[in-house]
Structure formats: structure tokens, C-alpha cells
Amino acid sequence: MNFVKAIVAAGLVAASTSAFAADITGAGATFPFPIYSKWADAYKKETGNGLNYQSIGSGGGIKQIQAKTVTFGATDMPLKADQLEKDGLAQWPMVMGAIVPVVNIEGVKPGEMVFDGETLANVYLGKITKWDDPAIKKLNPNVKLPSEAITVVRRSDGSGTTFNFTDYLSKVSADWKSKVGEGTAVEWPTGVGAKGNEGVSGNVGQTKNSIGYVEYAYAKQNKLVYTAMVNKAGKSVQPTVETFQAAAANADWTHAPGYYVILTDQPGDKSWPITASTFILMHKDATDKAASQEAIKFFRWAFKNGGKMAEELDYIPMPANVVDLIEKTWSSDIKS
């Protein structure tokens, strides 16, 4: 009997200590998952407070915060101001990143090929089906392209990455806009679907003559062959922190209600065209105010100390003036 009691007591102690440590829970976008987990790790070391982030996808993040099952939700597809109002949510951008086309063609090295928006749209529309298509050849006169069918890889699950990618294609191709449009899960005209950024990376890495789109960090980690892009200004740019930052610098955060800014196809000679920011959603008047304050503390810490870590993972930290704006949002909107 004593033995049983001891076990029960041990269980109670374990339960109470874990409740005491008050882990912040968050769920949503897969796109910022690498950086959120890195931040959480460093934050835990520094403060002892943990963060439990589930990368279930942007749509899931929105749903979970609406259902109040998590302290914060994360999404790559910002909610519009009226929807935020309706659910009593506050929204702000947390970190920025970029989406890159990746290819797998024998002999082609990272950054060697270049795409423009329209050609990319036509590949994903199924209008361009071979690698030696004149449109691709014209952009890449010096690359040896095989006369092979293109295997188009895209996401099968709903995703914020897809939202930003299709948003970009909609901006650069009228045909794409009218036939497919933008969304987290669209009606793909062609291609094979893979689950998650990891799935697309895996598929492209594995399949000869394929093309896909992934968040830059995934492309880099998996050593995939990314391509350069022709941006709005007509300049060919490589995916680098510099070009991502150039795109971010052109965004007008001050005048966007609920920080609703989509960073694709930004002007500027150096702007990477498929740049995206990822957002945090929280209830203005949360039921668990302690957890909500704890989360704000974490985000404040991340803005202040997390910039370098973000850059190491090829994300772009938010500019200082935007962070100041967000601080104001916190103090005015989030009730404690």
C-alpha cells in the first residue's frame, strides 16, 4: 500500500511542478517552426520558462486560437482587420522569411538557374511541361537543360507557404489569378502533392527533373538547388538575407491595420519577390491572463535577443521601428 501511495504522491508532485512552470502553448504555421523552437530553447535556458509550439499549419493555428485552446496562434496568412475585430484578436508580424523555388536537374547548381514570375506560374499551370521549353531557355541561356518532363511538386496540405506562393503567382500572372487564385489550399492544375515543407523538400530532393517551392531554411538545410528570381524591378536576385531584407524594408507596416501586409512582389531593385512574414495571433482579452502575459514576455525577449538567431536560420528579424509599433500594440490592445 505504501508503495502505491508513494507512486500517487510522486505523480501529484510531478503534475503540480509542471503546472507551476506554466509553459506557454502556441500552435500554427510550419514556416517559422525552426526559429520558434530555437528561440524557445534559448529562452528556456535563460529564464527557465518553456514554450510549447506545435507546427500544425497556419489554418490550424487560426482555428486553435479561435477555440482558445492555445495561448497564441501563428499564421503565415494574416487575418484581415474585420476578422480580427470579430474574434477579438490582436495580430502582429513576428519574423520574416522567404520562399524559394527549388529544382532538381542533373548538373544544375544552387542559384544557377533563374525564373521569372510568369514562367514559374506557367510551370505550375501545366502550360510549360519540359525543361527545355523556350521560355525557360530564354531566361537561362547558359544552363544545360534536359528535354525532360517537369515534375511539379506542391503542397498537399493547406499551408501559409502555399498562400504566399500563390499570392505571388496571382500578382504576376493574370492567368493564374483567374484560373487558380490564392489560398492556403488551392485547386492545383498539375503536379504531385507532398505534405509539409519537409515533404516538398524530400520529394524534390528525390525526384529527377522536378521543381518545388519551400521556405528558404528548408532548402538550405536539405541542400536543395534553389533558383534566382527576376523581381518586380526586372532584376535577377539571389535568395540572400540582403534581398529578403530589401523586400521587407519596402513594406509599409505603419499604415496597415492589424499589420496586414503581404510581402510578395515588393518593389525595389534588390527585393526578393517571394518574401513573407509570419504572424502571431492572441486574444486581446484572454481567459488566462497570466499565460498571455508570459507569452508577451517571450515575444518581447525574442524581438530583443532573437535577431541573431533568426539570421543564422536565414530568417529576417523585424526592423526596430516595427518592433516599437508592436510594443505599442501590446500595451494598448492586450489586457492584463
Partner 1 sequence: MAVESDALQAAGPYDRAKALSAFKLGDITFYWITRASAISVLLILGGIILSLIVGAWPAMREYGVSFLTTQRWAPSADPPVLGALGPIYGTLVTSFIAMLIAIPVGLGIAIFLTELCPQWLRRPIGIAIELLAGIPSIIYGMWGFFVLGPFLAYTFQPAMIHLFDGVPVLGAIFAGPPSYLSLFNAALILAIMVLPFITAISVDVFRTVPPVLKEAAYGVGCTTWEVVRSVVIPYTRVGVIGGIMLALGRALGETMAVTFIIGNSFRITGSIFSPGTTISAAIASEFAESDGLHQSGLILLGLLLFVLTFIVLAAARLMLLRLEKKAGN
Task: For residues 264 and 88, give the distance between their C-alpha atoms in angstroms, rounded to a whole number.
Answer: 27
- What's the gap between Cα 134 and its chain centre? 32
Task: For residues 145 and 270, give the distance between their C-alpha atoms in angstroms, rounded to a whole number.
Answer: 27
Q: What is the amino acid identity at position 154?
A: R
Among 11, 88, 181, 257, binds partner 1 (CB under 8 A): 181
When asked if residue 75 is in the footprint of partner 1 (CB under 8 A), the reply is no
Interface of this chain with partner 1, residues 114 to 153, rule: CB under 8 A: 129, 149, 151
Task: For residues 160 and 311, give the distance between their C-alpha atoms in angstroms, rounded to a whole number.
Answer: 21
- What's the gap between Cα 316 and its chain centre? 11
Task: For residues 327 and 113, give the distance between their C-alpha atoms in angstroms, rounded to a whole number.
Answer: 41
Region from 12-20, 185-193, 256-264, 316-324 binding partner 1, contact rule CB under 8 A: 185-193
When asked if residue 63 is in the footprint of partner 1 (CB under 8 A), the reply is yes
When asked if residue 226 is in the footprint of partner 1 (CB under 8 A), the reply is no
Interface of this chain with partner 1, residues 146 to 165, rule: CB under 8 A: 149, 151, 156-159
When asked if residue 110 is in the footprint of partner 1 (CB under 8 A), the reply is no
When asked if residue 183 is in the footprint of partner 1 (CB under 8 A), the reply is yes
End-to-end CA, the chain: 46
Region from 35-43, 58-66, 291-299, 300-308 binding partner 1, contact rule CB under 8 A: 58-66
When asked if residue 202 is in the footprint of partner 1 (CB under 8 A), the reply is yes
Is residue 50 a contact partner of residue 23, using CB atoms and an 8 Å limit? yes
Among 26, 32, 34, 57, binds partner 1 (CB under 8 A): 57
**Residue 253 grid coordinates:** 507596416
When asked if residue 213 is in the footprint of partner 1 (CB under 8 A), the reply is no
- The pattern of x and - marking residues 12 through 51 that bind partner 1 according to CB under 8 A reads ----------------------------------------
When asked if residue 106 is in the footprint of partner 1 (CB under 8 A), the reply is no
When asked if residue 185 is in the footprint of partner 1 (CB under 8 A), the reply is yes
When asked if residue 104 is in the footprint of partner 1 (CB under 8 A), the reply is no
**Residue 116 grid coordinates:** 521569372
Region from 95-103, 176-184, 268-276, 319-327 binding partner 1, contact rule CB under 8 A: 176-184
Among 76, 116, 167, 182, binds partner 1 (CB under 8 A): 182
**Residue 77 grid coordinates:** 496568412
Is residue 279 a contact partner of residue 259, using CB atoms and an 8 Å limit? yes
- Give the number of other CB atoms < 10 A from CB of residue 42: 15
Question: Which parts of the chain are beta strand (E)?
Answer: 24-28, 51-55, 72-75, 89-104, 114-116, 151-155, 192-194, 210-215, 225-226, 228-230, 236-237, 275-283
Total residues interacting with partner 1, rule: CB under 8 A: 32
When asked if residue 56 is in the footprint of partner 1 (CB under 8 A), the reply is yes
Minimum distance of partner 1 from residue 218's CB (angstroms): 17
- What's the gap between Cα 49 and its chain centre? 25
Is residue 318 a contact partner of residue 303, using CB atoms and an 8 Å limit? yes
**Which residues contact partner 1 (rule: CB under 8 A)?**
56-60, 63, 129, 149, 151, 156-159, 181-188, 190-195, 202-203, 206-208
